[in-house]
């Protein structure tokens, strides 16, 4: 696929920033959508070359005859109503950085276009947007460009944009081309660049001036000249810039932020105004993202969810996980605790979910064979708790977790002394021994084994049970002891997430067993089942 690059140029970034930040906030889409706090001419100035000189001037001041580099007293004499502000390059750079983040609604490949070395500061700014494979999401390249410019115009920012096969061609057309030729069809850069001046090749001012004096004022006049002759006369920079503009030499764009490994987005025909709609949107995005993670045998460690509002502002939340995760339910539960921080404002029109940190995550059967089932189960069971505590309290607050911290028996073990009496003691003594016996058996089975049990009523202890083809008649019972699933796990996360009622029973032969009924009658989806989990003697 041929690359497609959009060059966005804001010639009046400094003065538009001042006008935008001083304007009162208005409802987007209203009759007075563009802020109009200061409609007069604006300029910025700085102390240089022995006096205070203009650095950036707005279009109104330009029409009045003001130019960058003019002395401030002369400018005030020519235009008394001129509003002047000290130049703030750091504030302009920060504003451009935030604007670049906003432009990521169109593509994750957004880079800041740095000015040429010998270009004096003029209060302008520019961005690169690599829209390869992204334009169809907005109805095509023309619709994407128009949407971008209209949104900036409503924000009070004047801009020009051009789309071409290479960054050099897009840069030249955005600054020197006509609006009706701002989109160059694939393979048409050579013809589109021909009539433009040589300064459109991003040359140093001295090189451009020298070429013009030699009669090589337009780019098309350089086409028939040999590259070696150009390099010998003007240096290697000229043929390199020419090849980059024509797409003959590579010029990769480095995005301002690392590209996300996986990304999902949703656009809305009508802006979302209700806060309750954010969680369903988040779940839909997680379903899309986790499908991609599963296809790549990966899991997310850090995710960022950004909501783009109609007033061109961004609200975002981020979550992290202790282990790679691609379970949409677990991730949605972490996001749900932070969505209350999101203010829909005048409406949210787009949501983008990015997995910034991704690690390999094998399917569970492969992971069991590779890591051992027991250790993996402990990490898997504790991961939701670690994630919820870390996102609530901060990652630094969760410093240490005790292994086997679960209260589910097969996930928690401890040592206990044997029964204090023998089986030959009197009946009353045996009953007392059973009452004083440890609540956990001496021997815990690796996994609970299903049994057949008979109970008089659904919630009563068993009177008979069959285990390993042997029938046992219950003589004494202690219990029940109810163990519910861990609070930090989803109710239907796995087969172990049902309520258990444990009973310590002794049969007529003196054998002591630890049984439990899994599930509650008429309260949980599955029918209750009986299991034997341990032996007391």
Spatial separation of the C-alpha atoms in residues 6 and 132, rounded to whole Å: 9
Query: Could you count the other beta carbons within 10 Å of the beta carbon of residue 421?
Result: 15
The length of the chain, given as a count of residues: 537
**Cβ–Cβ < 8 Å for 54, 72:** yes
233-284 confidence digits (pLDDT tens): 888 889 999 999 998 888 888 888 777 889 999 989 899 999 899 999 999 9
Is 435's pLDDT higher than 70?
no
What is the mean predicted confidence (pLDDT) over 478-496?
69
Q: Is 510 left (phi over 0), alpha (psi -120 to 50) or beta?
A: left
325-354 confidence digits (pLDDT tens): 899 998 999 999 899 889 898 899 999 999
- Which pLDDT belongs to residue 397? 63
Spatial separation of the C-alpha atoms in residues 134 and 107, rounded to whole Å: 6
Spatial separation of the C-alpha atoms in residues 533 and 450, rounded to whole Å: 9
List, in sequence order, every residue forming a beta bridge with 56; answer none if it has no partner.
44
**CA 366 distance to own-chain centroid:** 28
Which CATH superfamily hosts domain 262-397? DNA polymerase, Y-family, little finger domain (3.30.1490.100)
**Residues near 3 by Cβ (< 8 Å), separated by ≥ 6?**
130, 132, 165, 166
pTM (global) more than 0.85: no
Answer positive or negative: Cα dihedral of 207, 232, 247, 107: negative
- Which pLDDT belongs to residue 523? 61
DSSP 32: T
Query: Could you count the other beta carbons within 10 Å of the beta carbon of residue 383?
Result: 19
Q: What angle do CA 339, 156, 341 make, to 5 degrees?
A: 10
Q: For residue 124, give both structure tokens.
A: 């302008």
Query: What are the backbone dihedrals phi and psi of residue 472, each rounded to the nearest 5 degrees, phi first?
Result: -125, 130
Of 404 and 143, more confident: 143
**CA 241 distance to own-chain centroid:** 36
Break the chain down into helix, strand, coil percent, rounded to 5: 35, 25, 40
Query: What are the backbone dihedrals phi and psi of residue 182, each rounded to the nearest 5 degrees, phi first?
Result: -80, -15
| Structural Rg of the chain based on CA atoms | 35
Spatial separation of the C-alpha atoms in residues 309 and 294, rounded to whole Å: 30
Query: Could you count the other beta carbons within 10 Å of the beta carbon of residue 126?
Result: 21
Closest CA to 177 of 120, 218, 140: 218
Indicate the range of 84-88, 303-307, 520-524 predicted with least confidence. Answer: 520-524
Query: Could you count the other beta carbons within 10 Å of the beta carbon of residue 396?
Result: 7
- Which pLDDT belongs to residue 283? 94
pLDDT band at 418 (very low <50, low <70, confident <90, very high): very low
- Which pLDDT belongs to residue 459? 80
- Which pLDDT belongs to residue 379? 47
Burial group, residue 113, by CB count within 10 angstroms (0-12, 13-18, 19+): buried
Q: Where exactly are the structural domains of the chain?
A: 5-246, 262-397, 410-535
**Cβ–Cβ < 8 Å for 194, 219:** yes
pLDDT band at 4 (very low <50, low <70, confident <90, very high): very high
- Which pLDDT belongs to residue 497? 62
DSSP 397: G
**Helices 167-176 and 237-246 meet at what angle, rounded to 10?**
90
- Which pLDDT belongs to residue 34? 45
Cis peptide before 412 (omega within 30 of 0): no
The strand ranges marked E within 326-469 are 348-360, 443-454, 464-467
Q: For residue 135, give both structure tokens.
A: 């334009």
Query: Could you count the other beta carbons within 10 Å of the beta carbon of residue 488?
Result: 17
Q: How does 169-192 read in b/e, with b if 16+ C-beta sit within 10 Å?
A: bbbbbbbbbeeeebbbeeeebbeb
Q: For residue 364, give both structure tokens.
A: 């569970």
202-242 confidence digits (pLDDT tens): 988 888 999 999 899 999 999 998 888 888 888 888 999 99
Q: For residue 142, give both structure tokens.
A: 């023309």
**CA 440 distance to own-chain centroid:** 46
Query: Could you count the other beta carbons within 10 Å of the beta carbon of residue 249?
Result: 14
**Cβ–Cβ < 8 Å for 451, 466:** yes
Is 480's pLDDT higher than 50?
yes
Closest CA to 74 of 59, 53, 91: 53
Spatial separation of the C-alpha atoms in residues 499 and 485, rounded to whole Å: 6
């Amino acid at each position: 696929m041929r690359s497609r690059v959009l060059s966005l140029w804001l010639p009046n970034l400094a003065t538009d920033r001042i006008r935008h930040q001083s304007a009162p906030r208005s409802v987007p889409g209203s009759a007075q959508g563009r802020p109009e706090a200061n409609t007069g001419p604006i300029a910025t100035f700085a102390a240089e070359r022995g006096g205070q000189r203009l650095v950036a001037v707005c279009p109104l001041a330009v029409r009045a005859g003001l130019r960058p580099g003019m002395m401030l007293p002369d400018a005030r004499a020519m235009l008394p109503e001129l509003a002047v502000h000290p130049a703030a390059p750091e504030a302009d750079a920060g504003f451009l950085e935030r604007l670049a983040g906003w432009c990521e609604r169109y593509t994750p490949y957004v880079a800041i276009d740095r000015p040429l070395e010998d270009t004096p500061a003029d209060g302008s700014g520019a961005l690169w947007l690599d829209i390869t494979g992204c334009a169809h999401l907005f109805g095509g390249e023309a619709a994407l460009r128009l949407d971008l410019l209209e949104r900036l115009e409503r924000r009070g920012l004047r801009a020009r944009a051009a789309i071409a096969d290479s960054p050099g061609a897009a840069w030249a057309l955005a600054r020197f081309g006509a609006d009706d030729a701002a989109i160059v069809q694939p393979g048409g850069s050579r013809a589109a660049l021909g009539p433009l001046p040589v300064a459109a090749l991003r040359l140093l001012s001295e090189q451009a001036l020298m070429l013009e004096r030699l009669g090589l004022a337009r780019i098309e006049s350089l086409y028939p000249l040999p590259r070696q002759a150009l390099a010998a006369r003007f240096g290697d920079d000229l043929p390199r810039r020419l090849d980059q503009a024509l797409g003959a030499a590579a010029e990769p764009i480095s995005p301002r932020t690392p590209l996300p490994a996986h990304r999902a987005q949703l656009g809305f025909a009508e802006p979302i105004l209700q806060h309750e709609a954010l969680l369903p949107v988040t779940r839909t995005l997680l379903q899309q993202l986790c499908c991609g993670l599963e296809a790549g045998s990966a899991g997310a460690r850090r995710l960022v969810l950004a909501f783009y509002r109609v007033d061109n502002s961004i609200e975002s939340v981020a979550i992290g996980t202790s282990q790679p995760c691609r379970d949409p339910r677990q991730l949605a539960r972490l996001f749900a605790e932070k969505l209350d921080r999101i203010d829909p404002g005048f409406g949210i029109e787009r949501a983008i979910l990015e997995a910034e940190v991704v690690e390999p995550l094998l399917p569970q059967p492969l992971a069991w064979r590779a890591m051992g089932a027991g250790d993996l189960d402990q990490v898997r069971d504790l991961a939701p708790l670690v994630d919820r505590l870390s996102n609530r309290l901060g990652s630094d607050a969760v410093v240490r977790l005790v292994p086997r911290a679960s209260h589910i028996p097969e996930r928690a073990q401890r040592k206990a002394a044997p029964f204090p009496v023998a089986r030959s003691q009197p009946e009353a003594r045996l009953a007392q021994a059973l009452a004083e016996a440890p609540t956990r058996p001496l021997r815990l089975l690796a996994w609970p084994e299903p049994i057949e049990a008979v109970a008089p009523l659904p919630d009563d202890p068993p009177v008979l049970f069959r285990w390993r083809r042997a029938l046992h008649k219950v003589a004494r019972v202690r219990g029940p002891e109810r163990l519910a699933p861990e609070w930090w796990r989803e109710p239907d996360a796995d087969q172990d997430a049902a309520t258990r009622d444990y009973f310590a029973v002794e049969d007529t032969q003196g054998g002591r067993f630890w049984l439990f009924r899994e599930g509650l009658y008429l309260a949980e989806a599955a029918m209750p089942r009986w299991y034997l989990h341990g032996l007391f003697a």
